[in-house]
Structure 1
Amino acid sequence: MSLKLDCGLFKYDFIDHHAILCVPVDADAKEVRKRYLKIARRLHPDSSTVVGETAKQVANELLSKLVNPAYEKLSVERNRAEYTLVLSQIGKRLAQSSESIELTTDVAKQLLSAPNIDLLYKNQLTKISTTQFDDLQQASQIIAQISELNLVYLMRTSGHSIIKPQLPSSNPPRTNIAPPPPPPPPKEDSAVEQYLRRAQTLLQKNQFALAKVELQDALRLEPRNSRCHSLIAMAYLGENQLRMAKIHLDNALKLNPQEKLALEWKPKVDKALGIKPNATQVNSSPNHGDKQPDKSGSGGLFGGLFGGKK
């Protein structure tokens, strides 16, 4: 049996551990453990009721290659915090490119326009979980189906609406309100603004290294540009260099305490690094020489999110 998964979040080279265990993306450690134990009893050779050598081999592969790694990732608080940070970033990126995303399952399409997304999402997961591993040959397809539900849920809850507004059934009454004046001619962007615009485009395409090049050039021109520090933090975050991301988020807030992007992401990065809100902050200068390694591992925080190979 092939364990290749290429639907839902898996389509973006991201391992959807929540889909493997069929738990909501906001599941806590207790819920994860309860679900894991139920699956393990179904698949483990010492407790499984699976009959036949072929079926037993499939059950063992599912347990060892998918279920156990998923539990290891989601059962540890530190790992789950980093993983949740990734999911939050994924949801925003997917919402921005929602028009190009194709759904293949009916339940995901239904969730796309459901008025009460939380209720339908969790009801569907509960329903699927009861039979997820009944047919082991179909387990991969079911996991992929769950991942599509996760994908839609992340898009719908990311703060970006993807539901097109309904047009009114009749024309509105005419009014005598004068049309607004034409907009002023656009100003020519400064060199730094051009760097920032190109970097934002690269970030949306998950081309983090190229985005950093643009932003580093911008910082040479305007080292005290808080927006630039926030964006380069996003590039480092995309490469799972949490400490470098933190340095630039700190710099952004020192320069502008109201910098929106930094205000949003600094608490998340601090939490992923295990830093308490009132803990003493490290020196925020990138040249200070932080000797502690980044939490990048072999695949980065995004685990090869949009470009790596499984």
Structure 2
Amino acid sequence: MSFKIDRGLFKYDFIDHHAVLGVPVDADVKEIRKRYLQIARRLHPDSSFTESDEQKQLGNELLSKLVNPAYEKLVGDRTRTEYILILSQIGKRLLQESTSVTLNTDLGKQLAQTPNLDPFYRSAIAKLAQTQYDSLEQVLQVIAQISELNLIYLMRSASKPSTATSPAQPKVQSATPQSTPQNTPPEPAPAPPKEDSVVEQYFRRAQSLIDKNQFAQAKVELQDALKLEPKNSHCHSLIAMVYLKQNQLKMAKIHFDNALKLDPNDERALQWKPKLDKALGQQPSDHKVTSSTNNGDKQPDKSGSGGLFGGLFGGKKK
């Protein structure tokens, strides 16, 4: 069974683990563990809650593919801290793009308007969680509804609004610097350092993994960093090096091209792009960039076991 969800935070290529467990985004570990045990008891194949074999299989898939990964992500100290920081940044980003955010449920529209943000949000989550896993066929719809509430709560918390928003789009008032100039500077000031520090953590871990020749894990770290900063040239050039060391030359070229498009002076891309073009039998193109949606995405280049890059990296994939 496919567990694809395209509403709430899921719509923005983000897995909303809080929505899967039916807890508020600021739930503590104790609350998360308690909620997980409740869900696990309902979904376990030996539970009387699931009667038919089909229901048992569906419950087991929900438990293994959604619930268990969500719990593991939210109870680990490091993974939970990083996840909460990413949530905060997503809230700020969506606030800036709020004109493109639409709401699908009446409950979501009410949350976007209510002046009593916190109590309304927690009450709504609690009510939905009570029956979240009663009907296994409806679980994904309930998760999507909870995720929409999480999205609205994050946006409104990011702007700390004092007035309600339009129900059609949760564009929460971002204070204009007319009446209270003192309130505006503190808002944008702390955001960049936080975001930079999170992405920098991904860079450090990725570089450490690269030094250990653990390229697959390094790639995962850099892919997470790109979700936060898709226009970070340094991240594109570093993940290009990872692909290069895995002999996936076409994928490396895509990211080197993106790095140069974003920063024509990126040293790593400038150093390796001409060599890569030569290895692929191409002429250096004066840094003209190919879109990442070209046919290079179809299959990573698995060549390179010999020649220039085979000699440099041994032609081995990690």
Asked whether the two chains share a fold, i.e. TM above 0.5, the reply is yes
Counterpart code for 2:21: L
For residues 303 and 57 of structure 1, the distance between their equivalents in structure 2, rounded to whole angstroms, comes to 35
After superposition, where does 1:1-150 map in structure 2 within 5 Å? 1-150=1-150
**Could you say if the C-alpha distance between residues 293 and 161 of structure 1 is closer, same or farther in structure 2, counting changes exceeding 3 Å?**
farther
Q: Which residue of 1 aligns with 2:253?
A: none
**Secondary structure of 1:46's partner?**
coil
**Could you say if the C-alpha distance between residues 305 and 70 of structure 1 is closer, same or farther in structure 2, counting changes exceeding 3 Å?**
farther
- Residues 202 and 224 in structure 2, CA contact (< 8 A), matched pair in contact too: no
Q: Which residue of 2 aligns with 1:153?
A: 153
**Secondary structure of 1:15's partner?**
coil
For residues 165 and 51 of structure 2, the distance between their equivalents in structure 1, rounded to whole angstroms, comes to 52
**Could you say if the C-alpha distance between residues 302 and 127 of structure 1 is closer, same or farther in structure 2, counting changes exceeding 3 Å?**
farther
Counterpart code for 1:60: N
- Across the aligned residues of Structure 1 and Structure 2, the Cα RMSD in angstroms comes to 3.2
Unaligned runs of 5+ in 2: 167-188, 211-216, 231-318
Higher relative contact order (CA 8 A, sep 6+): 1
Residue 303 of structure 1 and its aligned partner are, at CA, apart by 8.1
**Could you say if the C-alpha distance between residues 159 and 34 of structure 1 is closer, same or farther in structure 2, counting changes exceeding 3 Å?**
same
For residues 111 and 296 of structure 1, the distance between their equivalents in structure 2, rounded to whole angstroms, comes to 39
- Residues 24 and 122 in structure 1, CA contact (< 8 A), matched pair in contact too: yes
Residue 21 of structure 1 and its aligned partner are, at CA, apart by 0.1
**Could you say if the C-alpha distance between residues 26 and 83 of structure 1 is closer, same or farther in structure 2, counting changes exceeding 3 Å?**
same
Task: Write out per-residue CA displacement over residues 32-82 of structure 1, whole angstroms, 9 at most, x where no aligned residue.
Answer: 000000000000112342111111111111100000000000011111100
Task: Write out per-residue CA displacement over residues 98-141 of structure 1, whole angstroms, 9 at most, x where no aligned residue.
Answer: 12101101111110011111000000111111100111001001
**Secondary structure of 2:158's partner?**
coil
Unaligned runs of 5+ in 1: 167-226, 246-272, 274-289
- Residues 73 and 80 in structure 2, CA contact (< 8 A), matched pair in contact too: yes
Task: Write out per-residue CA displacement over residues 9-40 of structure 1, whole angstroms, 9 at most, x where no aligned residue.
Answer: 00001000000000010011100000000000
**Could you say if the C-alpha distance between residues 141 and 302 of structure 1 is closer, same or farther in structure 2, counting changes exceeding 3 Å?**
farther
Task: Write out per-residue CA displacement over residues 142-185 of structure 1, whole angstroms, 9 at most, x where no aligned residue.
Answer: 1000000000000000025495689xxxxxxxxxxxxxxxxxxx
- Residues 202 and 225 in structure 2, CA contact (< 8 A), matched pair in contact too: no
Percentage of matched positions with identical amino acids: 52
- Residues 91 and 158 in structure 2, CA contact (< 8 A), matched pair in contact too: yes
Q: Normalising by structure 1, report the TM-score.
A: 0.58
Aligned length: 200
For residues 234 and 116 of structure 1, the distance between their equivalents in structure 2, rounded to whole angstroms, comes to 29
- Residues 19 and 143 in structure 1, CA contact (< 8 A), matched pair in contact too: yes
Q: Normalising by structure 2, report the TM-score.
A: 0.56
For residues 44 and 156 of structure 2, the distance between their equivalents in structure 1, rounded to whole angstroms, comes to 36
**Could you say if the C-alpha distance between residues 77 and 48 of structure 1 is closer, same or farther in structure 2, counting changes exceeding 3 Å?**
farther
- Residues 17 and 70 in structure 1, CA contact (< 8 A), matched pair in contact too: yes
- Residues 111 and 152 in structure 2, CA contact (< 8 A), matched pair in contact too: yes
- Residues 12 and 306 in structure 1, CA contact (< 8 A), matched pair in contact too: no
**Could you say if the C-alpha distance between residues 118 and 46 of structure 1 is closer, same or farther in structure 2, counting changes exceeding 3 Å?**
same
**Could you say if the C-alpha distance between residues 21 and 296 of structure 1 is closer, same or farther in structure 2, counting changes exceeding 3 Å?**
farther
Task: Write out per-residue CA displacement over residues 261-302 of structure 1, whole angstroms, 9 at most, x where no aligned residue.
Answer: xxxxxxxxxxxx9xxxxxxxxxxxxxxxx9745996615445
Match of 2:201 among 229, 242, 253: 242
For residues 21 and 303 of structure 1, the distance between their equivalents in structure 2, rounded to whole angstroms, comes to 26
For residues 233 and 157 of structure 1, the distance between their equivalents in structure 2, rounded to whole angstroms, comes to 16
**Could you say if the C-alpha distance between residues 13 and 48 of structure 1 is closer, same or farther in structure 2, counting changes exceeding 3 Å?**
farther
1:298 and 2:220 aligned: yes
For residues 154 and 96 of structure 1, the distance between their equivalents in structure 2, rounded to whole angstroms, comes to 12
- Residues 112 and 152 in structure 1, CA contact (< 8 A), matched pair in contact too: yes
